[in-house]
Amino acid sequence: MNKRADSRLLSPWLFFILIIIGIGIIVGVLIFYNTKADIRKEEAAAIANNIMDGIASNGYLNQEVFSSDFFVLTGLNPEMFVDGRDFYFNLTIYGNGRPVEFSNGTRDFQYQCEIPGNNFAKCYEKEGILLSRTNPDMIYRIKLLTASNQKQK
Amino acid sequence: MKTKKIKKKGEISATLTWIVAAFIIFILMMVYLGIVSFMVSERSFFSYLVNNNADKINYQGGASDRLLINSFFAYLNSPLENNGEKTVRDLVDKEDVSEDDLLKFRTLSEGFLDKYIMKDKSSTENSSYTSAWIRIYGLDEKIDMYGYDKKYSKYEAMRYAVSNYGSYSWCGPEKINSTSYDVVLINVFVKDKKIVFCTEAKK
């Protein structure tokens, strides 16, 4: 029996190396899984894109926006846009008459977006124009603000 | 005595072997942790993959800014004057635009682009998720106002390459700089893709 080999295998250095490897793997996994991705801006932009896809096509306003259910038209989930949750949108359409406003979610976000800091919601805010299919001279000015404060749990 | 010495020598050599092994493994672990840290911290690594996927989608899809794109199409489809039939789109890629139409185009463009489209440039240009912005050169004073950006000098010979139209038009640098032409180039950048609208008219 080779007793010298046995003594090498049982050397405390062996345990030391195993501990280093173990700690390394644990630290690596912890670093990887503890990293949080902040995609609030992109989420806000995605909500805005969903809204635009529902209300406009090739630069023309979808007139159904005035008569249909906004959530059905835009494909957004109404349960996500209630006060106290992580999302908000506000769409105002300026035509010839009074402006028409569609808004849902946590209203406070529109103010939070102006405050710098990581704990506040991130917004997408833009103005644009759309045309009317029925009246070529009609121009709708639209203001869109969407916000998200959904953080990775 | 001799056996003891040999035994001691053997122990020292075994210990040294393990120390060297531990050191090597420690270094390897550091490299491994460095790679992991780089992967999670270097956002561009992931965004590069995301961007690449987005670029495969056409200019109206993916991460494109639909509001901006729709506003731009609204601008293209706008009549040059009230009750008029001619739209901006009708002037695109035409070489025989009348002075009257050009004037209407200029008036309409300044209002639309400055207010709704140019304004977006500053807000989206610095974003890493920039989806689209629009830049207009031309009409002489516009060239001076916005400058001819050297960064985009490779677009000196720009091709009008919008899939909607399926045709090509060439706006060479000699025409852009020429005083005998009114040149309007409207470039729509969707991520790294370049969609160029180009129209030119003899003065």
pTM: 0.58
- pLDDT tens for each residue of B165-189: 222 333 334 344 444 433 444 444 3
In this complex, is the C-beta atom of A151 within 8 Å of any C-beta atom belonging to chain B? no
Contact B66 A129 (CB under 8 A): no
Contact B65 A21 (CB under 8 A): no
**In A10-50, at which residue ranges do the beta strands (DSSP E only) sit?**
none
Contact B70 A16 (CB under 8 A): no
- pLDDT tens for each residue of A94-114: 988 889 999 999 999 988 888
B97 alpha carbon, distance to own chain's centre: 30
A130-148 burial, b if ≥16 CB within 10 A, otherwise e? bbbeeebeebbbbbbbbbb
Return the pLDDT at A25. Answer: 85
Instruction: Give the residue from A129, A137, A152 with the most B CB atoms within 10 Å of its CB, the best one to mutate.
Output: A129
- A-B interface: how many C-beta pairs under 8 angstroms? 110
Note the ipTM here. Answer: 0.76
Return the pLDDT at B177. Answer: 43
- pLDDT tens for each residue of B124-158: 333 322 222 333 333 332 322 222 233 332 233 23
A13, A48, A130 ranked by CB distance to B18: nearest? A13
In this complex, is the C-beta atom of A65 within 8 Å of any C-beta atom belonging to chain B? no
pLDDT at A147 over 60: yes
In chain B, which among 168-197 make CB contacts under 8 A with chain A? none
Residue A24's nearest CA partner among B45, B19, B35 is: B35
- pLDDT tens for each residue of A67-99: 999 999 998 888 889 888 889 999 999 988 889
- pLDDT tens for each residue of B79-114: 888 878 888 777 654 555 676 776 777 677 666 765
Which chain A residues are closer than 8 Å to B63 by Cβ?
42, 45
DSSP B145: H
In this complex, is the C-beta atom of A21 within 8 Å of any C-beta atom belonging to chain B? yes
Six-digit token string for B28: 């390897």
